[in-house]
Amino acid sequence: MRLWALSCLVLAGAAQAADVGWPQAVEAARQRAEQPYQPTPVTLPDWLQQLDPQAWQEIRFDPSAALWAGQGLPFSVRFHHRGSIYRPAVEMREIAEGQTQPLRFAPAQFFYGPGVDRQRVPGDLGYAGFTVYARRGDSWVPALECLGGSFLRAGMPLRPGGARARALAIDAGLPSGEEFPAFTDFWLVRPAPDARTFTAYALLDSPRVSGAYRIELTAGTSAVTSIEARLFFRDAVGKIGLGPLSSMFWHGEIGPRVDDYRPEVHSSDGLLITTRERRLWRPLGNPPRYALHTVPVPQSVAYGLLQRDRDFAHYQDLDVAYHEQPDVLLEPEQGFDAGRLELLELPVEDPYNQNVLAYVVPERDVNAGDSLHLRYRLRWGVALAAPGDGQVQATRIWPPPDTAPTSTYQVDFGPLGGGGAAPRPLVKVDGGTLETKALQPFGDGWRLALTVRRRDDRPLTLQATLVSDGSRRSETWIYRVAGP
């Protein structure tokens, strides 16, 4: 019996006696984990697999065919066609009044572009994912997308591109290669007419883990997704990454210099880490080779991938609108134990692939038979993090550290606020020598310039904070240059 069918039976049986819901989804995931992993076969015609991304994007779901359309409800759902890079079918079902029913694909639900012959589309093709729309007055606004692997992204409105969240990361950055868990089943809960949240249950599966996820979307002036996850492990995991957030950084103030008419191209420009004691800011980059930056973190640390630079003149792109792409902040509630936060950066030569991944690795190992219970919130929008004193506003480096032994690191801090004595820089260098440092007033903030000579045989780690009167006055800027 295929495992998705097993999960169907668990929920269908529950529907005969009680409301279908979260406990039944968790039980389905638990039962899956007790069985050997069975990958979902990809039964997709070759011609659909070979669709280029543009041809796939021209396949549009008919809004009049949306789930709950025309029923006076606060949310509706439109589905995505399989094809191109979106090949596996994801089982979709609706939960209404405690009963489940399958949501069936039909070619008539879609408008097809000139590159697709509708007559060749199988009638039982299935869906690749979905987008939730929230009612705003007389219009519908895209608010949440679940499409591809275990990715989700949200916004009010949801914009093309930008940062994303994944359900889980397994062995990210290890030589053995990464395992990519994927959502295989969704149950979409029909909302009440006065509901303020949309709820979905999902099953996640991969060779070493099975999981159940509850996703609750609150769509107001910004979007919030509340996540609860129950994970059951078939086998030991070398490195588990909780709450993975991903984004794209091609080039910016920090480099690299590329042949492109746009001054900067990135969906996020920094990683913000917030503890009870301080805020750390790590600018993102596009390194010449794989780079991993590890930061020890306490239990339940909040973090996010942000686009702080909102000046259109710095991007000059009206189509993608990088200056409007959303931040994503993760706020843990349960299960994020003390450990380390890892930032993985991969080199890219264009803006079409996400090359930045941030996640928490807990201290304790995950072994066969273990389980995890996670709860966290994802906040999506523009300028979500409250501006603090001494916010890092820009980072510039020249020459690139991989091309010369000595480089200058220029860091701009925003206003410090609160008066007091003039600040001084507190700088820490590991793996190199600080040759000069200079702090100067710059606008209503401060500019710190560091000249650092790195050692050839080890990574270089830098840290800088502005202090005065014995107290911290700014965020802590951190940066790392990978070794040779």
Please indicate, yes or no, whether residues 316 and 410 belong to a single structural domain of this protein: no
Give me the pLDDT at residue 334, please. 97
Cβ pair 160, 129 in contact under 8 A: no
Please indicate, yes or no, whether residues 198 and 305 belong to a single structural domain of this protein: yes
pLDDT one-digit tens code per residue, 340-368: 999 999 999 999 999 999 999 999 999 99
Please indicate, yes or no, whether residues 369 and 428 belong to a single structural domain of this protein: no
Rg (CA), the chain: 24
Please indicate, yes or no, whether residues 241 and 154 belong to a single structural domain of this protein: yes
- What are φ and ψ of residue 335, in 5° steps? 90, -5
Asked which of 358, 383, 408 is the last residue of a domain, the reply is 383
CA-to-CA distance for 214 and 204, rounded, in angstroms?
A: 11
What does pTM read for this prediction?
Answer: 0.93
Q: Identify the sign of the CA torsion 467, 471, 476, 482.
A: positive
CA-to-CA distance for 152 and 160, rounded, in angstroms?
A: 13
CA-to-CA distance for 367 and 169, rounded, in angstroms?
A: 15
Please indicate, yes or no, whether residues 128 and 207 belong to a single structural domain of this protein: yes
Asked which of 383, 409, 436 is the last residue of a domain, the reply is 383
> CA 409, 410, 414, 418: dihedral to nearest 10 degrees?
70
Residue 127 CB neighbours (<10 A): 21
Which single residue is written with the structure tokens 């920094």?
Answer: 270
Please indicate, yes or no, whether residues 318 and 450 belong to a single structural domain of this protein: no
Residue 324 CB neighbours (<10 A): 14
Please indicate, yes or no, whether residues 341 and 420 belong to a single structural domain of this protein: no
Please indicate, yes or no, whether residues 298 and 265 belong to a single structural domain of this protein: yes
Please indicate, yes or no, whether residues 314 and 276 belong to a single structural domain of this protein: yes
> Domain with 409 in it: what CATH number?
2.60.40.10
User: Which CA distances in Å does 151 have to 39, 58, 131, 180, 246?
Assistant: 18, 21, 12, 10, 9
Give me the pLDDT at residue 388, please. 75
Please indicate, yes or no, whether residues 23 and 123 belong to a single structural domain of this protein: yes
Please indicate, yes or no, whether residues 332 and 475 belong to a single structural domain of this protein: no
User: Which CA distances in Å does 365 have to 163, 240, 372?
Assistant: 28, 8, 11
Tens-digit pLDDT profile for the chain (484 aa)? Answer: 344 444 554 454 433 333 568 999 999 999 999 999 999 888 899 999 999 999 999 999 999 999 999 999 999 999 999 999 999 999 999 999 889 999 999 999 999 998 898 999 999 999 999 999 999 988 999 999 999 999 999 999 998 888 999 999 999 999 999 999 999 999 999 999 999 999 999 999 999 999 999 999 999 888 999 999 999 999 999 999 999 999 999 999 999 999 999 999 999 999 999 998 899 999 999 999 999 999 999 999 999 999 999 999 999 999 999 999 999 999 999 999 999 999 999 999 999 999 999 999 999 999 999 999 999 999 999 877 777 789 999 999 999 998 899 999 999 999 998 777 899 999 999 999 999 999 999 999 999 999 999 987 789 999 999 999 888 999 999 999 987 6
CA proximity to 328, closest of 302, 366, 360, 294 = 302
Asked which of 361, 383, 405 is the last residue of a domain, the reply is 383
Residue 356 CB neighbours (<10 A): 23
Give me the pLDDT at residue 333, please. 97
CA proximity to 210, closest of 41, 5, 14, 7 = 7
CA-to-CA distance for 300 and 304, rounded, in angstroms?
A: 13
- Side chain identity at residue 421, one-letter code: A
Cβ pair 452, 459 in contact under 8 A: no
Three-class DSSP labels, the chain? CCHHHHHHHHHHHHHHHCCCCHHHHHHHHHHHHCCCCCCCCCCCCHHHHCCCHHHHHCCEECHHHCECCCCCCCEEEEEEECECCECCCEEEEEEECCEEEECCCCHHHEECCCCCCHHHCCCCCCEEEEEEEEEECCEEEEEEEEECCCEEEECCCCCCCCCEEECCEECCCCCCCCECCEEEEEEEECCCCCCCEEEEEEEEEECCEEEEEEEEEEECCCEEEEEEEEEEECCCECCEEEEEEEECEEEECCECCCCCCCCCEECCCEEEEECCCCEEEEECCCCCCCEEEEEEECCCCEEEEECCCCCHHHCCCCCCCHHHCCEEEEEEEECCCCEEEEEEECCCCCCCCCCEEEEEEECCCECCCCEEEEEEEEEEECCCCCCCCCCEEEEEEECCCCCCCEEEEEEEECCCCCCCCCCEEEEEEECEEEEEEEEEEECCEEEEEEEEEECCCCCEEEEEEEEECCEECCCEEEEEECCC
Q: What angle do CA 271, 394, 480 make, to 5 degrees?
A: 50
Q: Which domain holds residue 193?
A: 1-383
Cβ pair 410, 449 in contact under 8 A: yes
Give me the pLDDT at residue 470, please. 82
Burial class (CB in 10 A: 0-12, 13-18, 19+), 256: middle
- Side chain identity at residue 395, one-letter code: T
Cβ pair 88, 128 in contact under 8 A: yes
Please indicate, yes or no, whether residues 293 and 415 belong to a single structural domain of this protein: no
Q: Indicate the number of domains in the chain.
A: 2
CA-to-CA distance for 390 and 415, rounded, in angstroms?
A: 5
- What are φ and ψ of residue 417, in 5° steps? 70, 160
> Domain with 185 in it: what CATH number?
2.70.98.10
